[in-house]
Amino acid sequence: MVKTKIIEIGSMVPAFEEEQLIILFGPKATAELRDICLIHDFEDTPKDALKVGGKIKFGDQEFTIDEVGSQANANFEELGHISIYFRNEVGDVLPGAIIVSPGGFPKFDVGDTIEVL
């Protein structure tokens, strides 16, 4: 299990709700990236945490990981970066992304915990 805490919400993050997309990045994100990301800080560095059939939780909202891009785990471990698509259909996944279901944009705040189970 991986736990991470949201420490900052970029000003542009709400604009991605229509796209059903959240971009996570660790605390070393550049100023340009901070505007479009949820900035988070791991309790412990993850190791191959993102797996098809696994779960990701935003507070008490739970989603199933349906697809994992080829670089998603490496990016998540090194940079704290993944793009999360909240969709009900599975399709081509970008290398640094995951697709989760059910669709629907989660609710979150600074200080909330994200867990990967």
The stretch 62-87 carries a mean pLDDT of 96
90 pLDDT above the threshold of 70: no
Rounded CA-CA distance 39/9 in Å is 6
- Contact criterion met (CB below 8 Å) for 102 and 63: yes
State the pLDDT confidence band at 114, using cuts at 50, 70 and 90.
Answer: very high
* Residue 87 confidence (pLDDT): 82
User: Whole-model pTM?
Assistant: 0.94
* Residue 103 confidence (pLDDT): 83
State the pLDDT confidence band at 39, using cuts at 50, 70 and 90.
Answer: very high
